[in-house]
């Protein structure tokens, strides 16, 4: 290597060290964070997430919830569809308020749906989620992400016009209640959503949430509710509940007063700062305040003091995490805005990336348990919001405020790069991209296709694509550990290339038009997770039986469980329909000694086979 090349490399290293030093000085959390090994167990009281959710929902929510419900005029005899819009800036709790109203009155209607739109919506995705949510109580099965999907409601491959037609047919004559959350642009409403259900549903009610009052006017809502920040009293009450310190003990505390003044009644900020304070002794609270508001910088061009303070608080909350949790938090930056992130899927991806560290030497089960603990702590810190079904945590979602922040931090640290329909000219650091996400990119858009075919990322560990037909060949991703293609247009010839990815741990093909897995999949000897819900796959190749490290196998009602399933001795989670016939299948299940989650159709012929199953 020439001397000038060595000198250039040294200069680059010095530049990176200087940037790291600047970040260190900016956040100054060393004196507040206990130094622990990355693999140290995280002691989390799992009741904290329930407390957080309860506090966020109840503090100061009753009066605005009832006001919104009054605006809906439920007792009116008018057959007119009525639309109420909740308007307010980010972090004030628009979604929480809409959900509170939705939960209170939804059973008064024939059908209901709650969908999020976001800043860069994909029309097909929005319509599909509306349709699935509306039909969730009709002839349903429990799908493998713990959501209820209707039998026969396979919407894969349907165009927006076809989805609109199906929604209209389903809603004909029904009185429905729908929440359309987080609309940034009236265009998605006027050109897509409105066409699906506004015109033909007598007495239906709709709640819309947006940050922009001009969006509400363009939609033509009947009434607007302007959400307000929490009062001083409610702010202190929320801080008290999250931090676990009695309300009266916070009285006459100058630091508490200063913190709440900076939070300015924004529930998102109060949740985050209170969750940090809950982990600190009272005498360190002044240090927390000083570190957030005196040692941090203004983020970008933001001129709104309230929003800038929220960003400072969220940034401090992120850097207050232990390093292994920070990595998992940054990993959430690869998911689309307003996306529902399923718990098990997220944990398996983090395990595949090597971001989860087992707490004992007892194997893979401990890895998954450790991943669950990581997720609970992120929820308890107020950084992500839980999704529950019957009181059971099944997933999470990231507030768009938090998502924008972690994407900034992720880009700053070269953790992940995200390319969506609004960032088509994203410049990727040459040769250094470790994680890449493509979202909502269609080659038929008027502004031209994204040039991704020539991507060669030799050090990339993770490639995630959702709702895009611009998927580059994967043979340039030599060290890939995670390949997640969801609702993307990929052909079977493309999948044959996957067999070359010898380091692959996670393969997700949910919602792709795939009808057959190639035999080359059997070459992925390190594969831990294989997900292929909502595909056309009916049979698995026999070569899959060689994947003895496979821990999670998730299909749907179209895929038959193979007779050789017992060869996959590391399986922890198996979700497929239907199962093999009777005794043979039961005997194969008996070989899966690590299984924790099993969802399959088992056809038993007599009581003897039933007893045999119970004995396993």
pTM of the model: 0.75
- pLDDT value of position 362: 53
**283: in domain:** no
Do residues 545 and 568 touch, judged by C-beta distance below 8 A? yes
- pLDDT value of position 447: 47
Q: How confident is the model at residue 614 (pLDDT cuts 50, 70, 90)?
A: low
Structural domain count, the chain: 2
**103: in domain:** yes
- pLDDT value of position 30: 45
In the predicted structure, residue 443 carries a pLDDT above the cut 70: no
Cα distance between residue 508 and residue 349, in whole Å: 10
- pLDDT value of position 326: 93
Cα distance between residue 62 and residue 406, in whole Å: 32
**504: in domain:** yes
The sign one gets for the Cα dihedral 311, 314, 320, 324 is: negative
Do residues 503 and 486 touch, judged by C-beta distance below 8 A? no
Q: Pick the last residue of a domain from 226, 241, 271.
A: 226
* Beta sheet of 111-118, edge-to-edge order: 111-118, 176-183, 205-210, 82-87, 223-226
**264: in domain:** no
pLDDT digit string, tens, across residues 316-335: 888 888 888 999 999 999 99
CATH of the domain at 439: 3.80.10.10
* The dihedral formed by the CA atoms of 343, 345, 347 and 352, expressed in degrees to the nearest 10: -170
Q: Which of 44-53, 116-125, 380-389, 422-431 has the weakest average pLDDT?
A: 44-53
Minimal CA–CA distance to 143: which of 128, 134, 132?
132
H-helix or E-strand spanning residue 394: strand 392-397
The sign one gets for the Cα dihedral 242, 244, 246, 250 is: negative
Give 587's contacts (C-beta < 8 A, 6+ positions apart). Answer: 566, 612
Do residues 271 and 242 touch, judged by C-beta distance below 8 A? yes
Length, in residues, of the chain:
616
pLDDT digit string, tens, across residues 158-179: 788 889 988 888 888 888 999 9
**491: in domain:** yes
**135: in domain:** yes
Query: What is the average pLDDT across 353-367?
Result: 73
Q: Give 148 or 389, the one with higher predicted confidence.
A: 389
CATH of the domain at 214: 3.40.50.300
Reading phi first (left if > 0) and then psi (alpha if -120 to 50, else beta), residue 264 is in left
Minimal CA–CA distance to 103: which of 170, 57, 167?
57
Q: How confident is the model at residue 494 (pLDDT cuts 50, 70, 90)?
A: confident
In the predicted structure, residue 12 carries a pLDDT above the cut 90: no
Q: Pick the last residue of a domain from 208, 226, 244.
A: 226
H-helix or E-strand spanning residue 182: strand 176-183
Q: Pick the last residue of a domain from 226, 259, 287.
A: 226
Whose tokens are 């998911």? That residue is 335
In the predicted structure, residue 155 carries a pLDDT above the cut 70: no
**241: in domain:** no
Range of the domain at 156: 61-226
Q: Considering the chain, what percentage of its residues have pLDDT values greater than 90?
A: 23
Cα distance between residue 259 and residue 235, in whole Å: 10
**383: in domain:** no
Q: Which of 245-254, 309-318, 341-350 has the weakest average pLDDT?
A: 245-254
Give 6's contacts (C-beta < 8 A, 6+ positions apart). Answer: none
Q: How confident is the model at residue 156 (pLDDT cuts 50, 70, 90)?
A: low
């Amino acid at each position: 290597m020439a001397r000038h090349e060595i000198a250039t490399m040294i200069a680059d290293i010095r530049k990176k060290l200087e940037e790291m030093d600047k970040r260190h000085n900016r956040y100054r959390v060393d004196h507040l964070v206990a130094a622990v090994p990355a693999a140290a167990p995280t002691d989390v009281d799992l009741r904290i997430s329930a407390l957080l959710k309860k506090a966020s929902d109840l503090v100061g929510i009753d009066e605005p919830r009832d006001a919104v419900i009054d605006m809906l005029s439920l007792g009116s005899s008018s057959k007119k569809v009525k639309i109420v819009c909740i308007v307010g800036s980010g972090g004030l709790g628009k979604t929480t308020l809409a959900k509170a109203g939705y939960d209170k009155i939804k059973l008064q209607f024939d059908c209901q749906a709650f969908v999020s739109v976001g800043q860069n919506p994909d029309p097909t995705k929005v319509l599909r989620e509306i349709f699935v949510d509306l039909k969730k109580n009709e002839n349903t099965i429990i799908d493998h992400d713990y959501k209820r999907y209707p039998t026969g409601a396979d919407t894969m491959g349907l165009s927006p016009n076809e989805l609109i037609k199906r929604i209209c047919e389903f809603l004909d004559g029904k009185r429905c209640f729908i929440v359309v959350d987080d609309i940034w642009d009236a265009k998605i409403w006027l050109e897509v959503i409105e066409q699906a259900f506004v015109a033909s549903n007598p007495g239906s009610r709709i709640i819309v949430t947006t940050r922009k009052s001009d969006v509400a006017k363009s939609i033509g809502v009947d009434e607007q509710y302007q959400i307000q920040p929490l009062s001083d009293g409610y702010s202190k009450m929320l801080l008290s509940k999250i931090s676990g310190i009695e309300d009266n003990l916070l009285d006459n505390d100058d630091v508490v007063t200063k913190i709440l003044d900076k939070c300015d009644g924004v529930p998102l900020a109060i949740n985050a700062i209170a969750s940090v304070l809950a982990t600190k002794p009272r005498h360190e609270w002044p240090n927390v305040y000083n570190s957030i508001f005196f040692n941090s910088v203004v983020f970008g061009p933001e001129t709104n003091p309230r929003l800038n303070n929220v960003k400072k608080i969220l940034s401090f909350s992120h850097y207050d995490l232990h390093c292994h949790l920070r990595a998992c938090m940054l990993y959430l930056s690869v998911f689309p805005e307003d996306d529902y992130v399923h718990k098990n899927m997220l944990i398996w991806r983090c395990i595949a990336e090597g971001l989860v560290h087992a707490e004992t030497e007892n194997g893979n089960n401990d890895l998954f348990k450790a991943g669950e603990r990581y997720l609970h702590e992120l929820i308890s810190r107020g950084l992500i919001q839980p999704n529950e079904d019957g009181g059971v945590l099944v997933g999470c979602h990231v507030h768009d405020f938090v998502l924008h922040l972690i994407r900034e931090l992720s880009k700053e640290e070269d953790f992940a790069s995200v390319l969506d329909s609004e960032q088509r000219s994203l410049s990727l650091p040459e040769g250094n991209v470790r994680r890449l996400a493509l979202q909502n990119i269609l080659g038929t858009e008027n502004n031209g296709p994204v040039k991704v075919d020539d991507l060669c990322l030799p050090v990339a560990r993770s490639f995630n694509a959702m709702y895009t037909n611009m998927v580059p060949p994967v043979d340039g991703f030599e060290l890939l550990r995670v390949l997640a293609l969801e609702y993307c247009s990929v052909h079977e010839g493309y999948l044959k290339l996957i067999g070359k990815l010898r380091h692959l741990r996670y393969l997700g093909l949910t919602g792709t038009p795939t009808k057959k897995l190639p035999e080359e999949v059997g070459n992925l000897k390190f594969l831990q997770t294989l997900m292929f819900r909502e595909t056309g796959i009916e049979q698995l190749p026999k070569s899959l039986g060689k994947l003895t490290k496979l821990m999670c196998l998730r299909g749907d009602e179209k895929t038959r469980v193979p007779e050789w399933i017992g060869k996959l001795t590391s399986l922890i989670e198996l979700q497929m329909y239907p199962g093999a016939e009777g005794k043979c299948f039961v005997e194969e299940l008996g070989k899966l000694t690590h299984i924790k989650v099993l969802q399959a159709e088992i056809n038993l012929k007599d009581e003897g086979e039933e007893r045999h199953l119970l004995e396993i």
